[in-house]
Structure 1
Amino acid sequence: MNKYLFILLFACLCSCNGCSSDSEDKSAEIVLSNEDLLIKRYNELVVPMFKSYNGIEIPSEFHVDTKDKTINAGASFGYVEVSQGLIEVKKQSLQIFVLSHEVSHIVTISQAKLFGLKGEIPRGAVTNDYKKAEYLADLIAVHLMQTKLPKEFESLYADFDYLQQLLGPVTFTHPSGLDRINSLKEYLLNSKEENEPTAFKKQFLSIWNRD
């Protein structure tokens, strides 16, 4: 009787192990959707870059505009809105830059205070405050990628020509893609000649005080 009981228990254990293995195989086969991948990259790569900004609520909720096929995003306190076009982008570094740029808008004033600046972004006679905000968000995003995600930064840098086209022509609220890329290149050149934190502060102040 004990012999048969042992055989039965052994068979049950083998069966359970087989079930566990099957379960593991099934979980390994799970493929994330493009939307889930973007959210994962945002939470695991983008959000940690902004941890040093104390007291700032980094958006955690995602909204998707399924009708927008362009590469676009926006951020406010509490949520990020992304276009379907951004979700479908194959270049991870570009997705990270776009998302980082939007979050950078939220931390711009906090960064300004760290540099001893007060008030809102000043309006220049030539460069209005809207355009300055775009330059500054670009700068913060690229600086963070360069210092915290260097491989993603290198990939983005290799695509600067494409990014310039993507950023488009000048509008009332946005500088041209050419001017934005040139501003970033100026920072990157200074970061090689000096160091990244010094170049970052220098470029930030230059944009802030631009006429």
Structure 2
Amino acid sequence: MKKFMYFILFLVFFTCSKDSKENKAEVNEDQETCILDKEDKLKQLYNATVIPLFSAYTDIDIPVEFHVREDEMGIDAGASFGYVEVSMGLINVSEESIQLFALTHEVAHIATLSQARLFNLDGYVSSGPETNEYIKSEYLADLIAIHLIKSKEPVYFESLTKNFQKLINILGGGTFTHPSGVNRIKAMQTYITLSNTQTEADAFKTLYLKIWEDNM
């Protein structure tokens, strides 16, 4: 009987222990499956939520291909005409609202000039006395993203605002091409405040024009 009990305990340990040398291959398979699950979830978020956010921008080509930079563990993303690219760091972010914002922001870059034309703004984003064209483009993409999320995905919007401090840390300090996380969140909060006293569409247009004309 004792030998039988020892055998049962051995089986339980062998099955459950992730530190077992004999079980390492299975653990690695589990980890790979987990990563694939995260990739699939992010792709699903992009296809089911991000793409529909831009339904009003009928004159732009929304990227449909999804590329993963498996060697990049920083939190990063990018979009070009035809594909969106994400880092493993973004895939591993636990807050879905932050993932949504990052992806929406990148597609918003593609929609920036289309949106400008809708507001009867001619030409391209240009440098002003206070802000260069790169930083202005980041503010405009942030504005499009937060506006679309607030107006179309209120549950994600509420979660995102609760994660602003984490987003500040992710966005980091300012560079020649990117405003600091603090200033980016400040600009988005300006939109949120305006949208509480007027319609979201009016708040969006007001702030878009201010950024375009370098009156932030």
Q: With the length of structure 1 as denominator, give the TM-score of the two structures.
A: 0.84
Residue 48 (str. 1) matches residue 34 (str. 2) = no
Residue 134 (str. 1) matches residue 165 (str. 2) = no
1:64 aligned counterpart, secondary structure:
strand
Deviation at residue 80 of structure 1 after TM alignment: 0.5
The 2-side partners of 1:156 and 1:183 are apart by 15
Larger Rg: 1
* Deviation string, structure 1 residues 48-83 (Cα, Å, up to 9, x no partner): 000110121100001111111111000000000100
Report matched runs for 1:107-118 at 5 Å. 107-118=111-122
The 2-side partners of 1:125 and 1:173 are apart by 15
The 1-side partners of 2:50 and 2:42 are apart by 10
Q: One-letter code of the match for 1:107? A: A
Q: One-letter code of the match for 1:109? A: L
Residue 210 (str. 1) matches residue 210 (str. 2) = no
Count residues in correspondence: 182
The gaps in structure 1 that reach 5 residues or longer are 1-29
Q: Which residue does 2:62 correspond to in 1?
A: 58
Deviation at residue 126 of structure 1 after TM alignment: 2.0
* Deviation string, structure 1 residues 95-143 (Cα, Å, up to 9, x no partner): 1000000000000000000001011002112200000000000000000
Q: One-letter code of the match for 2:160? A: L
Is the 2:66–2:85 contact (alpha carbons within 8 Å) kept by the matching residues of 1? yes
Q: Which residue does 1:78 correspond to in 2?
A: 82
Deviation at residue 166 of structure 1 after TM alignment: 1.0
The 2-side partners of 1:141 and 1:89 are apart by 18
Deviation at residue 161 of structure 1 after TM alignment: 1.1
Is the 2:59–2:114 contact (alpha carbons within 8 Å) kept by the matching residues of 1? no
Percent of aligned positions that are identical? 51
Q: With the length of structure 2 as denominator, give the TM-score of the two structures.
A: 0.82
The gaps in structure 2 that reach 5 residues or longer are 1-32
Residue 181 (str. 1) matches residue 171 (str. 2) = no
* Deviation string, structure 1 residues 174-195 (Cα, Å, up to 9, x no partner): 0111111111111110000111
